[in-house]
Amino acid sequence: MKSVFPHLVPVALAGLALATSCATATTEKERPSSTVATPVAAPAPVTPETATATTASTEGSVSVAALDAPAAEATDATADPTAPSAAEASAARAAEKKMTVADYKYQLARANVSLRTNPRNPRALIERAKANSNLKNYKDAAPDYAAALRLQRNNPDLYYNKGVNELMLKQYKAAANDFSGAVKYRPDDKEAFFGRGVAKMQMYQYKAAVSDFTRAIAIDSLYADAIEYRGISYASFDRLKEARRDLTKAAQLNPEAEKSLRRYGKGNSLVRGGNK
């Protein structure tokens, strides 16, 4: 699927590190012009209004309800009582951000050794997939995530990590479904809601993205990325007052968001027409 905002996903992914744990709408009539500068987005809850709406994408008409449906593998699985909490998962992701290329290469080598002995080892499959994803080998990571998911259908971190990898592959519907799988098993995972919002933004589902960002903010009222991306989403459908409010607060929490405030805080004309 074509990216709506060319630099949106890379910036968003800076706040969406992979988890280290391996535990077992409304139709938008206006789309950004070719001159639009790319924003950053996050996820939130779906309202009855957005749940029945559809929007056009390069994969056809995709309903918000379809994006909020968990991946098929999560349909019949039950929650894993041993899975880390959302707070533990968030801390693990933060630690992952501090790892180096050498660390990821070591993970990759270690996983390859384990998989030569047992090709169906889910922990090793996940480790290899995460290592490849962190090394930007997103296509190489994809089959390992799929294989691991057949073995661990109730692992929220696996759905989350798979969703992050799919964002980078521009597979936005698949990413939304996997983030939905993550929140099915861990409904207080703010970063999974954020990731789903990013996927929806890339599919022109700005109002549904606002809902996901709102859910993330309800979990963490100081979640600067979610506040910023919600503001950008509001600007995309002419909710200027709300957009300016969010972008101003985001800039107070994170000086980097000042760029988005300058770009999108003046109204939707910036989103649709560049520097008008």
CATH number at residue 139: 1.25.40.10
- Decide if 208 is inside a domain: yes
Domain count for the chain, please give it.
Answer: 1
Are residues 214 and 223 in contact, defined by beta-carbon separation less than 8 angstroms?
no
- Decide if 38 is inside a domain: yes
- Decide if 264 is inside a domain: no
Mean of all residue pLDDT scores within the chain: 80
pLDDT digits (tens, 9 = 90+) for 238-260: 899 999 999 999 999 999 999 99
Other CB atoms closer than 10 Å to residue 268's CB: what's the count?
A: 17
- Decide if 197 is inside a domain: yes
pLDDT digits (tens, 9 = 90+) for 89-126: 999 999 988 999 999 999 999 999 999 999 999 999 99
CA distances from 7 to 174, 189, 219, 230, 252 (A): 20, 24, 26, 16, 22
Which residue do the tokens 């933060």 mark? Answer: 94
Are residues 204 and 26 in contact, defined by beta-carbon separation less than 8 angstroms?
no
Q: What is the pTM of this model?
A: 0.79
Domain with 206 in it: 8-220
Contacts 24+ apart (CB under 8 A), 85-89: 85/186, 86/186, 86/188, 86/189, 86/190, 86/219, 88/21, 89/19, 89/21, 89/156, 89/157, 89/160, 89/186, 89/189, 89/191
- Decide if 19 is inside a domain: yes
- Decide if 249 is inside a domain: no
- Decide if 251 is inside a domain: no
- Decide if 202 is inside a domain: yes
pLDDT value of residue 140:
97
Question: Does pLDDT of 5 surpass 60?
Answer: no
Q: Which residue has better confidence, 6 or 109?
A: 109
Confidence label for 24 from pLDDT (cuts 50, 70 and 90): very low
Question: Does pLDDT of 9 surpass 90?
Answer: no
Across the chain, which distance is largest between two alpha carbons, in Å? 61
